[in-house]
Amino acid sequence: MAFLVVVSYQEILVSFDHSNDAREQIRQAIDIVDLVGGSLTLRRQGRLYVGLCPWHEDARPSLQVNPDRQSWKCWVCNLGGDIFSFTMQREGIDFRQALELLADQAGISLARNAGKRDYQPGDPRDKRNLYQAMAWVEQQYHQYLLKAAEAAGARDYLAQRDITAESIARHHLGYAPDQWQWLLDQAKSTPHSPALLEGIGAVAKSESGRVYDRFKGRIIFPIRDSQARPIAFGGRILPANETERSAKYINSPETRLFSKSDQLYALDLARQAASKANSLMVMEGYTDVIMAHQHGIANAVAVLGTALGPRHVQLLKRFADKIILILDGDDAGQRRTNEILELFIAAEVDLRILTLPDGMDPCDFLQTKGQKLFLENASTAVDALEHKVQSVLQGIDTVNDTHQSHQALEEILGTLAQAPGSQSSRNESRRLLEQQILSRLARQFAVAEEVLRTRLIEIRSQQQSSRPAGPREPIKHPGADKTWQPLDPKEVELLEILILDPDLVLSALENIEISALPTETGRSLYTLYARLAADGQRPEFGYVLTQMEDPQLKSILVET
């Protein structure tokens, strides 16, 4: 079918240095919620996510992320688009640079890039090779656990821990033979060079330069990203091999694929259940999570040998509104709880603390008490602020010990001050809880409630004044000089129809010529839909965004 084209494709299309297939692969590989959430705090709001826009003074969340459309939009400064335009805006780069950056992040090759990414198989500089090597190593360890006679001790250990064959398969558990060179020997007939295996942390190098298998003699717990790609390993030494010098657990080192400060164990398996329940349970150990999933508690994740940090809080907040922190009931677990409360309170996360009885960990509790009693305990988890008050006041004589009472009061108010003030907080229940705690403290410490509130305001003001400066000015990135006209209402109606049903493009062209649209903006967008349909492509919303370079035009389409 012939149709009239009145605008240049160069206004809206990417130069054809890179294949459309690669761009589409990148779009599908990188979830926009993960990408945007890596730069700012997002919270769920129905089917969408919202956050404070970093490109203008934003007191209330005006930036919106739509996971269904894989798009983002700030309704104040009118920026918006897809993963490419967000990266352009965040980094101040042009489309081609954003494409290459995201391709590297996703481990996808850009076939026609002037030889810049023309790496050979096994070259550790190519992120694709890193992902492929990780998947290969995971499979080697998994198959060894399942089939090798030498892995009988590992299988016996897992059976003693009541970890079933189904759980071994679900979590891709493995075993690394207790040999210095086993993995290196297995890799000799593959593209996975020693340098590549070292790049993913599977092997290590001694001071003398000798390369050896890092996880030898250990049960392997693969750590996967939110796209379910293996990116690291945790290793637990078998009890029979334990010595005073050997660490019970080790994790992969930091690599191009893995940073323990922004990953959680089993999040790839838990995210669907977390979305359904609108809650996540955070535990301490791999076996805790495996046992939870085995008992049907599929919204459980674990930290990776490190304390929860700010990036973990942002990550958790993206997947659920309520977080239940389930740490061991020992003294060390209680200390770790107090260390991280303020992070969650400052982020206005509904954090609950569950302390298991008798110093038990979740794995032991589930094995001995069962799922029903575990969930009953979880339903009684204490709010983070209330937990703080209880833990600080434990053992303190608030009547006779003035010094200790003053210290305790200052500590509690300091934690309470981490939450936004009652005027700025969007959480009505949080404001009510703050009021209840102040009333309780006033009675318990025999101090006027108004005095406590004044002191709370002082501490909150001091904390806010010491925090980093506000958001950056909007970045002017290359290629953003053109100004597009607003769409005509009739053009908006047409584009809404095409977004809802991309299969109607050819039918629309039979009735509405491109030249009939009143604005250049509308003609440009309609032209793109027409070209894709004529090429046999189904112009779904996300795919259309991928074909566009101009960020302002992307923003206009997102707003439609």
pLDDT digits (tens, 9 = 90+) for 375-398: 999 999 998 888 888 888 888 887
Q: CA torsion angle for 363, 369, 371, 372 (degrees, to 10)? A: -150
User: Are 71 and 83 within one domain?
Assistant: yes
Residue 472, SS3 per DSSP: coil
Domain for residue 71, yes or no? Answer: yes
Contact 282, 324 (CB under 8 A): yes
Q: What pLDDT score does 283 carry?
A: 94
Q: Please, which contacts does 58-64 make with residues 24 or more away whose CB atoms are closer than 8 Å?
A: 58/471, 59/424, 60/426, 63/36
Query: Is the Cβ–Cβ distance between 71 and 541 less than 8 Å?
Result: yes
Does 231 share its domain with 315? no
Q: Are residues 457 and 489 in the same domain?
A: no
Grouping H, G, I as helix, E, B as strand and the rest as coil, residue 231 is strand
At 43, list the tokens.
Answer: 């919270």
Domain extent for 100? 9-114+477-559
Contact assessment for residue 267 and residue 226, using Cβ atoms and an 8 Å cutoff? yes
Over 90: is that where the pLDDT of 486 sits? no
pTM for this model (two decimals): 0.70
Taking every pair of Cα atoms in the chain, the longest distance, rounded to a whole number of angstroms, is 91
Cα–Cα distance for residue pair 55/473, rounded to 1 Å: 5
CA angle 58, 62, 67 (to 5 degrees): 140
Q: Examine the pLDDT at 244 and tell me if it is beyond 60.
A: yes
- Residue where a domain terminates, one of 216, 231, 258: 258
3-class SS string, 318-340: HHCCEEEEEECCCHHHHHHHHHH
Q: Is the dihedral of CA 459, 465, 468, 471 positive or negative?
A: positive
Q: Do residues 248 and 273 share a domain?
A: no
Angle, CA of 384, 385 and 390, to the nearest 5°: 95
Last residue of a domain, one of 336, 354, 381: 381
Is residue 173 included in any domain, yes or no?
yes
For residue 529, count CB atoms less than 10 angstroms from its CB and return exposed for 0-12, middle for 13-18, buried for 19 or more.
buried
Range with the lowest mean pLDDT among 2-11, 90-99, 443-452? 2-11
Same domain for 137 and 241, yes or no, is yes
Q: 543 and 481 in one domain?
A: yes
From 381, 415, 441, the end of a domain falls on 381
Residues 284 and 359 in one domain: yes
Rounded CA gap, 426 and 89, in Å? Answer: 28
4: in domain: no
Looking at residue 470, its pLDDT comes to 41
Distance between CA atoms of residues 418 and 422, nearest Å: 12
Collapsing DSSP to helix, strand or coil, 557 comes out as helix
Max mean pLDDT among 117-131, 333-347, 480-494 falls in: 480-494
| CATH value at residue 101 | 3.90.580.10
Same domain, 363 and 436: no
- Compute and round to an integer the Cα radius of gyration of the chain: 27
- Does any domain span residue 1? no
pLDDT at 119: 59
Asked whether residue 208 falls in the same domain as residue 135, the answer is: yes
CATH number, domain of 173, equals 3.90.980.10
Same domain as 319, residue 248: no
Cβ atoms within 10 Å, residue 508: 16
pLDDT surpasses 90 at 136: yes
Nearest one of 76, 5, 75, 82 to 36, comparing CA atoms: 82
233 and 207 in a common domain: yes
- Residue 357: inside a domain, yes or no? yes
Number of domains forming the structure of the chain:
4
305: CB partners within 8 A, 6+ apart = 234, 249, 251, 260
Mean pLDDT (the chain, rounded) = 84
pLDDT at 78 over 60: yes
Other CB atoms within 10 A of residue 290 CB: 28
Q: Are 49 and 42 in contact (CB under 8 A)?
A: yes
| Cβ–Cβ under 8 Å, residues 487 and 560 | yes
Other beta carbons within 10 Å of 400? 7
Q: Is residue 120 part of a domain?
A: no
Q: Give the pLDDT score at 16.
A: 36
Strands 43-45 and 382-383: unpaired
Residue 494 contacts residue 512 (beta carbons within 8 Å): yes
Between β-strands 211-213 and 203-205, what pairing exists: parallel, antiparallel or unpaired? Answer: antiparallel
Type of residue found at 330: D
User: For the chain, how far is it from start to end, CA to CA, in angstroms?
Assistant: 27
Structure tokens, 261: 């400060």
For the ranges 145-159, 165-179, 366-380, 465-479, which has the lowest average pLDDT?
Answer: 465-479
How far is it, in rounded angstroms, from Cα 355 to Cα 341? 14
* pLDDT single digits (tens) 47-69: 899 998 988 888 788 999 999 88
Per-residue confidence band for 12, with pLDDT thresholds at 50, 70 and 90: very low
Residues 6+ apart with CB under 8 A from 160: none
* Amino acid 75: pLDDT: 87
pLDDT of residue 19: 54
Q: Residue 366 and residue 292: Cα distance in Å, rounded?
A: 7
Mean predicted confidence (pLDDT) in 226-249? 88
Q: Report yes or no: 172 and 142 within 8 Å, Cβ to Cβ.
A: yes
